[in-house]
Amino acid sequence: MAGEKPVAFVAERQIPPSPPPVRTGGALGWARDNLFSGVFNSVATLLSLAFVAYILAMVVPWLFLDSVWNASSLQGCRQVDDGACLAVINERFLQFVFGFYPEELRWRPILAFVLLFVAIWPALFSSAPRKLLIFSALYPLLAYWLIWGGSLWGPVGAVVGIAIGWACIRFLPPLVRGRLDEGLAFLAAVGAGILATALWWLFCVIAFEDALSAVLAIGLEPVESARLGGFLLSTIIGVSGIAGSLPIGIVLALGRQSNLILIKAVCVGFIEFIRGVPLITLLFVAWLLLSYFLPPGTEFDLILRVVIMVTAFASAYMAEVIRGGLAGLPAGQYEAADSLGLDYWKSMRLIILPQALKISIPGIVNTFIGLFKDTTLVIIIGLLDPVGLLQPIRADQNWNGIVWELYGFIALFFFIFCFAMSRYSMYLERNLDVGHR
């Protein structure tokens, strides 16, 4: 139908979209929607802005404009300017980081810290090469050796002890197969493994160390525990507590659900006892009671005692967090695992724990963060963690009277660590898609 006129009331082309009215689009629109959508919200926004401006007006000049970085005393700071006296952090920074660690040996904790990231890489990100897990398993002893020094053969002896225990658990059950019930055989093997490891550690390691040192002396200059302090100390206690509490917590949580009455009783007893006692009490026990009970002259290292207590404490909480995850799984999952014919360990490893741990992530990270912040409690037993170091630093005539700068600095350190942990847990949740969407 050529030549036919187009219908007048039908548009031939789409009208190009016109920009939204200024009041609803762009930054202005966003602000209108989110900040000034009503009288109450507008007032609240203005008040908040005024508050933020007020705080910034106080903090920015104090911290940035008027702060003093180079002075040798608080009085010196005050002569230069009236802002924050950051000179104290400038002067004592290394003390905050390493405590009293000998200066020429400080590369050792630094190396240990760098290797820490290599060690936790495969644990944190699934993209990492799996073989690195072997390194992660060996890392605690490596870090111990780097930080405290001494003969290399001591840590090696400790590894041999663990290997002996593992060998017992691995190779004993097949030996008694047929003669004993399978579960009982396994239990007996675990007991024998623990006993063998303990015996090795108690009676053979020293001879082992001495013998090998006589043949080939490899060692680092030993550093005493009393010289550890500052962030190094917090990190040692925090990281070993975190690394230790997760596996122990899993074992305790599983033990609590066990049908074997003895295992269940031990786990419940441990968890409830530890949860019923404040951490400070445990630290005092570690410090005070052991000092009385141990024969005079023995050196059971204080930091090691504290690490053990902190780990035990966090493990009990971790066990309950993980139990929550286990309880959160539908019974069908357990039954499905059973119906596939998987034995207990396989069903736990392949079906139950991956789901339970996934559910528990927020709680687990919560416990980690709490544990890390709790490390500052060691101040009451005279260990000089960052907060503990404040006292001797502020007792120095030059810096006596400084408060905000030092506490702020320590708070910043803890914030960085805890915030990183919390962000990581959010990343993990996103990746594992916890929401059952």
Question: Which residues contribute to the site for another protein (CB under 8 A)?
Answer: 73-75, 78, 91-92, 95, 99-100, 103, 144, 148, 150-151, 154-155, 157-158, 201-203, 205-206, 209, 222, 224-226, 287-288, 290-301, 303-304, 379-382, 384, 388-398, 400-401, 403
CA–CA gap between residue 253 and residue 267 (Å, rounded): 8
Nearest approach, Cβ of residue 57 and another protein (Å): 21
| Cα→Cα distances 301→68, 225, 287, 365, 433, Å | 40, 7, 10, 29, 43
SS3 282: helix
> Helices then strands (H, E): number in the chain?
19, 2
CA–CA gap between residue 80 and residue 68 (Å, rounded): 7
Helix axes 132-148, 230-256, angle to 10 degrees: 130
Q: Which is nearer to another protein, 52 or 380 (CB)?
A: 380
Nearest approach, Cβ of residue 205 and another protein (Å): 6
Nearest approach, Cβ of residue 112 and another protein (Å): 15
Phi, psi for residue 219 in degrees, rounded to 5: -165, 165
Q: How many residues does the chain have?
A: 437
Q: Which is nearer to another protein, 40 or 107 (CB)?
A: 107
Q: Which is nearer to another protein, 12 or 299 (CB)?
A: 299
Q: Which is nearer to another protein, 345 or 407 (CB)?
A: 407
Q: Which is nearer to another protein, 125 or 404 (CB)?
A: 404
Nearest approach, Cβ of residue 49 and another protein (Å): 28
CA–CA gap between residue 51 and residue 124 (Å, rounded): 39
Residue type, 215: V
Nearest approach, Cβ of residue 357 and another protein (Å): 32
Nearest approach, Cβ of residue 224 and another protein (Å): 6
Q: Which is nearer to another protein, 17 or 382 (CB)?
A: 382
Task: Using CA atoms of 107, 108, 112, 115 in order, give the dihedral in degrees to the nearest 10.
Answer: 60
